[in-house]
Amino acid sequence: MSSPEDYNDSEPAGVISKSSHGEKKKRVRACDMCRRRKVRCDGDRMPNSLCTNCKTYDYKCTYAPKKRAVDPEYIQSLETQLAQAQEALRLLSARLEASDGQQSSEPTPSRHSSPSSAASTFPSSCGPQSPNAGHRRFPPLPEAIEQQDDIDPSDDELDAENSIQRDLRVLLDRHGQKQFVGKSSSVLLLQQALNMKEAANSANQLGMSSGFSLPNCNDVLKQNPWLDTPPCDYTPQDFPVPDLLNSLIDLYFQHSNIYLPLLNHVIFRRDLDAGLHLRDESFGSTVLLVCAIGSRYTTDERVLLDGLIPSENPDARQASGWRWFRRVQENRKLLELRVATLHDLQIPALASIYFYGSPTPHAASATVAYGLRLAMDLGAHKRKVYKSTPNVEDELLKRAFWVMVVLDRTLSSVLGRPCCVQDEDYDLAVPIECDDEYWCTDDPALAFQQPAGKPSIVTAFIFMIKLNQIQGCTLRTVYATNKSKAIWGMSDDCQPHLVTLLDSSLNKWIGSLPPHLKWDPNMPDETFMHQSALLYSTYYHLQITVHRSFIPVPSKTTNNGSMSLPSLTICTNAARACIHTLEAQFKRSIHGGYQNLVALFNAGIVLVLNIWATKHSGMPHKSTRDLEDVFKVICMLKALAPRMFIASRIVECMKEIAAIGNVPFPTEDGNPLRGTKRTRDGDNIHLATDPTCVSEPNVNIAGFEPRAMAGSHRVQQGQQQLRQQRQQQRAATGSPSSLSNGSVPSPPSYMQPPPQPQQRRN
């Protein structure tokens, strides 16, 4: 027990206190200065407790409270016990909730309570009422994930990792290969057996005297060559000619790598100039895939397959780069049996990017999943695998993993599938915000340091990662399965609060953007403008994703159009903002649209749904603005369709939805298609592309400007004649000029499809 004196150390000298027997006694205590100088203090006898020494030498006479020493081991033991109790309670809660979910198909209604202040925890009332309801937790929200980025691994994990890395480093790294094993691996059990042997026989730590060694997959392949046939190295004939090769590489880094910075341009060029693509099959495959992706951004017909001519086949450019992608597919195996390398991780990431715009976009998801498993085999998801000092290999490995995580979240949202990895499955740091040219410098102290005042191109990718964390949480909560909701204790009453938390996370994200990524259609730097457009369009698309499941069914809407939740309004406003952002981007360059196909499609569908819902609700509503925005979506998709197969399919889907909802759809002559009947297979509805529909004749799609070539003068004369004929026809028929009368606005010139080339390849 503490004595009364322990609690009165802050009192000045001479204070009277009572003892345990009720007797008064006078406390005698020296002031701080006298105790420091080790002299006698008479402060207890002086007025105001000001001692003679301090008064004589003009010292400040103070009596600081006595600090009581706290045993750190005692605090640590309490914290350990608390953590163990919380973990046991969490596991017990999950088991009870799972059993409750199996016994009852519907959760018990719970009373309303105020939301919790912690972003990662939901109120105890969200879920079935039970004794342990107050301890239920949602899947971690982005704020909680960001706060846990600096948390060190648990003690047992550190012990396990240190033991494995120390005792088995010779076995795993002696062949120049690196493979990651976690603390649940059987290797740890093997280490315990070796430690017992060491204690019994005093053998060396690994027991190498007995000839023991772990199997290495490359050794197995050498001993059994029939298991695997190594891929062949590429020849110069497998790659594009030098001028085309350099052009495609520049296009890739200019239009694709700025969004998903998988590669370092300087290091990539250095390895290419050294001829590594002819000696290393993995790097050669990386180069070919870079060329395949870069082919989407060029008008050079040498990127097309033999026999495909755009003037004869409108879909010829959808096969741009397929010749080099097919070469990689022919050379590499479906499953790589050897230990993966850095380039082996870059290959599935690049292949997924190319698949996304090809006629087989569904293959992108499986390719990313395969790449993530390869990355985990190398330990790319664990922070302890990386060195404390930044280096090229670690940074490229980190980039490869994060790029595939972003692709996995994006594709999972598009396809409605679970993500391959969750936020709690990895703890690596985000990529360093440093541009490629500052990685390797003459002064090692300046390596990986971005110059002060110069924004990094990688910053946009960092914010895309943060936005993807919110997207992953949305998929795990708003779109969770009933079984998952039962395990986490989420009921229908929690949904409004859940949406509020997600909206709050989105608002914090948009408010944290740096100035160079704030949306400005007149931004002078085109790279930052495209990055900002992608971030904002993804942000609006995620807003739609969060709220679209709460849009009321039109058949259940009341006659006056009132809705229980403002979800349709939020989705509609987000769709309009998304379309206007991408429209401004298209005016600068069409190439940025390849990254925003899904956002563009969802925005158009939401507006079509809003037009249909307001039409059937009986509310007076002028749909002119929404119809204009829908038409802009169609025009932008039409402009992307010649090069991306999925864009043409999206246009067909929008045709069907517009026909079902009796929404005007643009036809070849610029007038809307009306009626509830679906179009027949033989009916072709084309976007108005004639020059009479051009409202901004001086603006073209960047990258697809008409080239001066033979016969261009004759083409212009033919277009002029066609323009005059259609103007005369419209003047005679008196076509309506107002959307309220059923017309649809003409597309601006920058949304026109690219001109058909007049020359064939040699």
Tens digits of residue pLDDT in 353-371: 999 878 787 889 999 999 9
Q: Splitting the chain (762 residues) into consecutive groups of 10 residues, what average pLDDT does each group show?
A: 40 46 60 88 85 86 76 80 81 64 41 35 37 46 52 48 46 47 61 64 46 54 64 88 95 95 96 94 95 92 84 80 91 76 94 87 90 92 90 95 95 89 91 94 88 94 96 90 78 81 94 95 93 96 91 53 64 94 91 87 89 71 77 89 85 80 59 38 33 31 34 41 45 37 38 41 38
Integer Cα distance of 627 and 607 in angstroms: 8
Q: Considering the domain boundaries, does residue 70 fall inside one? A: no
Q: Considering the domain boundaries, does residue 514 fall inside one? A: no
What is the structure's pLDDT at 195?
66
Q: Could you say which of 426, 455, 484 is where a domain stops?
A: 455
Strand 24-26 versus strand 16-18 pairing type: antiparallel
Q: Considering the domain boundaries, does residue 112 fall inside one? A: no
Q: Considering the domain boundaries, does residue 405 fall inside one? A: yes
Which amino acid belongs to residue 236?
Answer: P
> pLDDT per residue over 213-245, tens digit each?
455 566 655 666 666 666 788 899 999 999 999
Q: Considering the domain boundaries, does residue 520 fall inside one? A: no
Q: Considering the domain boundaries, does residue 318 fall inside one? A: yes
- How far lies 169's CA from each of 162, 165, 220, 262, 377, in Å? 10, 5, 19, 29, 16
Task: Give the range of the structural domain holding residue 331, as residue numbers without chain letter.
Answer: 236-455
What is the structure's pLDDT at 202?
53
What is the structure's pLDDT at 192?
64
Q: Considering the domain boundaries, does residue 143 fall inside one? A: no
Q: Which long-range contacts (CB under 8 A, 24 or more apart) does 317-320 make?
A: 317/642, 317/643, 318/358, 318/359, 318/642, 318/643, 318/644, 318/645, 320/292, 320/295, 320/296, 320/643
Integer Cα distance of 711 and 714 in angstroms: 5
Question: Looking at the DSSP assignment, which residues form a beta bridge with residue 672?
Answer: 666
What is the structure's pLDDT at 479?
87
Distance of CA 580 to the CA centre of its chain: 23
Report the C-alpha dihedral over residues 104, 105, 111, 114, rounded to 10 degrees.
120
What angle do helix axes 392-415 and 363-377 make, rounded to 10 degrees?
Answer: 140
The 3-state DSSP class for residue 340 equals: coil
Closest CA to 634 of 742, 519, 547, 753: 753
What is the structure's pLDDT at 697?
29
Q: Count of domains in the chain? A: 3
Contact 99, 130 (CB under 8 A): no
What is the structure's pLDDT at 643?
85
Q: Could you say which of 455, 478, 496 is where a domain stops?
A: 455
Q: Could you say which of 56, 79, 94 is where a domain stops?
A: 56
Residue 310 phi, psi dihedral angles, 5° rounding? -55, -35
What is the structure's pLDDT at 204?
47
Q: Checking phi first, is residue 38 left (phi over 0); if not, alpha (psi -120 to 50) or beta?
A: left
- How far lies 427's CA from each of 59, 149, 262, 477, 674, in Å? 54, 6, 19, 21, 54
Paired tokens of 572: 């509609």
Integer Cα distance of 734 and 248 in angstroms: 49
What is the structure's pLDDT at 284?
95
In 295-362, which residue ranges form alpha helices assigned H by DSSP? 322-331, 342-356
Integer Cα distance of 451 and 218 in angstroms: 43
Contact 290, 324 (CB under 8 A): no
Q: Considering the domain boundaries, does residue 194 fall inside one? A: no
What is the structure's pLDDT at 103?
45
